[in-house]
Chains A and B, each alone.
Chain A
Amino acid sequence: MIVTALAIPGIINRTRALLAGRKGIPFVQHLRNVRVLLQKGAVYSTTTTALFKIAPTIYLGAAIVATLMIPVADLYPLISFEGDVICFAYTLALARVALILAAMDTGSSFEGMGAAREALYGALIEPALMIGFATLALFCGYTSFADIFEYEQSFDLHLTIVMLLTAFLFVKITFVESGRLPVDDPRTHLELTMIHEVMCLDYSGIDMGMIQIAGWLKTACFSMIAANAVAATGCFHWWFAVPLAILLTGVSVGVVESSQARNKLSRNTTFIVTISALAALIFFIGYLLKLNINI
């Protein structure tokens, strides 16, 4: 899991560089950046309260706990119980709330902008996430990640279809949740158009490092879910799922970021609601297949 979390940003950068024909930054550049951040002091705004200082720890803490719930193919997760899919979604929501409140705490209009957008997009992506989990529960008959993905490893056409579709859905959700193109552009130079990055403008040093690490963990969680879904259709082993998770998200994000422009902000809502609609559609397909109705 940690390997996945650490490797994805590197892969994204390599893919982008490759597609753009550049030499690109070294693979471990993001790790170096964070190491520098963790060794620095900090500057706090005078407007802020204690909440601002606690928020990054809540953000990272929640991301860590959420990560502990995700199995890596046949490796059992540390926390696993009936319904942990719900716990996972809400733990990440806690992380989001912490960051939104921290952004509003600075009293900056730019950070308020980011917070408002994050709150809205977070609200709209929630149904997609839940219906995605519901599809898995419907097809596998379990409500815990570990059981869902261990359900069946024999080849079954229906299962394969649903699992691949679900994997596709979770890759899409990853785009939104980790603030990537086409929803958000982490590399923009203009604060007015940012979402996720603009919320952490006032953070520095260790706090900023924590936020970055938590962001990687979040991305890793979602891509691991997608990879598990793919792996469950055939080769269900950790040595298959880990590289798959890294490549799946890393390459797809890299390709999308190199080939697409960022959405206009007003188009983002449509984009996210479309993901929810897609999730509902996948659920429905899963339902029909489950009832053995062939379409």
Chain B
Amino acid sequence: MFYISLLVVLTLIVAAIFLSPLRWKMWVAFAATSLFATAAAIPAISILAGGEELSLLPIVSPFFGAESLHMDSLSALFVLIIGIAGIATLLYSRGYLEHYLDKKSSAHLSLHYTALVVLVISMVLVVLSSGGFSFLFAWELMTIASFLLILFDAERQQVLRAALAYLIMMHIGFVLLVAGFAGIFSISGTGNFADLAACFSCGRTLPIFILFLLGFGMKAGLFPMHVWLPEAHPAAPSHVSAIMSGVMIKTGVYGVMRTLWYVVDSHELHTIGLIILLVGIVTGLWGVILAALQNDAKRLLAYSSIENIGVIFIGLGVSALAQAAGNNAVATVALCGVLLHTINHSFFKSLLFFGAGNIYSKMHTTLLDNFGGVAKHMPVTAILFFIATIAICALPPLNGFVGEFLIYLGMLNSIREGVNTIYAAGGLLALALIGGVVVLAFTKLYSTIFLGAPRHHHVAESTEVDNLRIAAMGIPATCIILIGLFPQLAIGVVSRVVAQFHPSAAVVIEEYISPTMWKISLTAWLLIIVVALLYALKRRAHSKRDIKQGPTWGCGFTSPNIRMQYTGESFSEGLESIATSLTQNTVEGRALSKSEVFPSTHGYRVRHKDKIDRLFAAWWMELLHIINKRIMSLRTGKINHYILFALLFLVAIFILSLFNLI
């Protein structure tokens, strides 16, 4: 019944999008998404506000027994995130694809829009499904839809390769998930998440949890499975990157949270918490250092997504460790932080990708060193991007700070109470370093694109984007500011979810987190008021004085030019000299040698490639080559050989059944 109705709905959407005229396709897709998102968001809001959990409909699946669509507060939270991001993405896509309307065929665009709608629907199904077959079905649907979305610019070789790499990695993850569910099924007879409890109680926690962690980690981009992210995001159109990076990778986080829920044994929870914390630390540090070294805006953003997933996992690990030690207060604080950071990241990351899309659609490049001074030509984009930059650097008074603050607070509380002190200190050290390097990465991104003088003539020809795109960017920007200034409201949203994890959480939130959030909110307001006041004072003083304009002070150097500005590469040069062992550099062109007295024109471009990437690619490729060669040697093309193989197969079956092995 479920699959039939899903099929009918999808067919209707496909038909509507394919049949509508070119310029209306987006609005049809938008209408479908917003209808669906609103329908899903209404019960979600009521659940988060304290309503009853919702069992939507039972599903009969061919494998893994009975399942249902079920919405509890964790799903409700993710449904909300997906809905908001989905609507913003669809709104944004019109302006971004305007440019392609006469280049791509109508069917191509229809396919793109259909995939967008299907992606949103499938993500909602993923978080609603109670497990087993319907979960895997929705998961696969999500992978296929996002694969089609990445493939939009399929003429470019690079896009094709990125999309294929994505598809392959996602299916490795998929196999691991199938294995995980098969594991549950073999123990309890059905394949639901809820049966994990039975599964975990009979002492096979670690292997099954690791299967799920690997499977979900592939989607979330945990180290070292993150290699698809920095390839896929530069290849995909910006709004697709926005929804994939902002929301889709979070389904991996959702999966891990869902599985973690059912681990009860404190000893095992301790081990698992430690694993998650370590993975989080490595992912976060790796992501942020690589992000700071990138010279391509979208690649930088992709690495920063990896870093944020790392931060989320650090918080999750701290929470699990605290819970294992029986310290509910710390577990609650850290979990609140994790959930808030998950929400926050979906907002500022989609805003950043939208911003990158604006620039790309005007200047057709994302290489940092081709920009400079864009803020003068695209002021609104510059302001919105600035908001997102401050938010992602986790600086007050915006939302990024609130989430990371709670994670930090969880760790500090863990330290002061003397439980898991060393682990918490390790997490603290890593998070502080991540926080510092993020500032480096994003000041580099913002200043090389928007500030300074133009490095390329494209910049001078660019203009601000259309209002619809600005409106789409306004949605996440508003959420960023709201959460930043009124964090107590955001805590209200996540409190139900945390209460589901820890029964005593309501008290902790009521007595500890809420008052702190009030103070944070007041501090944020104070900061804004002080800055505004100072600015007003300065303006008043300036109104009576002599204000001049002049060229930038050249320090006595008589002929400075634009090419002498600091570039993205030179900005992160100091970090590069420390982190050189993490990357494999490919250099195009040739650096100036010392013996050149009269230098001629030089082209020079460095790309810092992930070492893990090389390792992965080379390793897999080698292995596949060898296996392929072996198998190919069996394919002789002679009938008598094939008959021999068939005979050997029968004999093998016979012998195996003789020993009762099959």
Binding site for B on A (CB under 8 A): 38, 40-49, 51, 54, 56-58, 60-62, 64-65, 68, 79, 81-87, 89-91, 93-94, 96-97, 100-101, 104-110, 112-113, 115-117, 119-120, 122-127, 129-131, 133-134, 137-138, 140-143, 191, 201-202, 205-207, 210, 266, 269, 280, 283, 287, 290
Contact = CB atoms under 8 A, between A and B. Distances in A.
Given A47-B452, A94-B395, A125 B526 contact: no
Contacts of B546: 41
A83 B443 contact: no
Nearest to B578: A269
Interface size on B, as a range, is: 35 or more
B547 interface: yes
B555 A141 contact: no
A interface SS class:
helix
Interface string B571-615: 111110110000000000000000000000000000000000000
18 contacts: A57-B534, A65-B523, A79-B522, A79-B523, A83-B408, A83-B516, A90-B401, A91-B527, A104-B443, A107-B373, A109-B565, A127-B433, A127-B436, A131-B432, A201-B555, A205-B545, A210-B538, A266-B577
A62 B451 CA distance: 22
Contact of A45 (B412, B450, B550, B565): B550
Nearest to A102: B451
B5 interface: no
Contact of A105 (B425, B447, B578): B447
Interface stretch (B132-140, B297-305, B414-422, B643-651): B414-422
B624 interface: no
Contacts of B405: 83, 86-87, 90
A97 B443 contact: yes
Query: What 3 A-B pairs have minimum CB-CB distances, sorted nearest first?
Result: A112-B566, A123-B436, A104-B447
B560 A143 contact: no
Contacts of B538: 56-57, 206-207, 210
A41 B555 CA distance: 21
B566 A115 contact: yes
Contact of B545 (A42, A46, A97): A42
A123 B433 contact: yes
Contacts of A65: 523, 526-527, 530
Contact of A42 (B432, B542, B571): B542
Interface in B492-538: 512, 515-516, 519-520, 522-523, 526-527, 530-531, 534-535, 538
Contacts of B552: 45-48, 106-108, 202
Contacts of A108: 552-555, 560, 565
B439 A96 contact: yes
A112 B452 CA distance: 10
Contacts of A51: 375, 386, 451
Interface string B354-381: 0000000000000000001101100000
Contact of B566 (A89, A116, A141, A142): A116
Contacts of B553: 45, 106, 108, 201-202
